[in-house]
Amino acid sequence: MYDKILVAVDFSPDYSDVIDKALSQAEGDSSKLHLVHIVEPLAPVYSMDIYTVNIGEIQDGVVDSAKQRLEKIGSDLGIGVDRVYTRLGNPAAEIRNIASEINADAIVIGSHGHSGWKIFLGSTAAKVLHGAKCDVLVVKVGSQ
């Protein structure tokens, strides 16, 4: 049904459920999958400690760690590093941007929301849905 699927991986304990659902949409063909993980920028901490900590270095380390982890997941699935994206920024906006850049047919994302509309979609999933230019499949994960 889909030829190019962007799978949002959040490293929660249920991320494999999201990948499994994406694989089922790809009829088991991992060559149709692209993986993405977005690292949210660290919020500045306003205390005396801020002057002794280089937030940029910490953030770079988090992004590098996430990149290595996502590339390992991709490698295990036979997905090359050219189809694995790790970025720093707003998760929903970056997921939509990457989907547009690669001309994705669909985005697959897990839902972790716990209140209001978020119960049905999850906050990031809801934000991805609004403004996406392709289909969005929201996978219910966790104990909701």
Domain boundaries, the chain: 5-140
pTM recorded for the entire structure: 0.86
- The confidence score (pLDDT) of residue 53 equals 65
What digits encode the pLDDT tens for the residues 110-120? 987 544 444 44
Say whether pLDDT at 43 is over 80: no
Lowest-confidence pick of 16-20, 55-59, 61-65, 138-142: 55-59
Residues contacting 48, CB < 8 A, separation 6+: none
For 5-140, give the CATH class.
Answer: alpha beta
Residue 71 buriedness (CB in 10 A; 0-12 / 13-18 / 19+): middle
8 A C-beta contact, residue 111 and residue 122:
yes
Average pLDDT, stretch 127-143? 89
Average pLDDT, the chain: 87
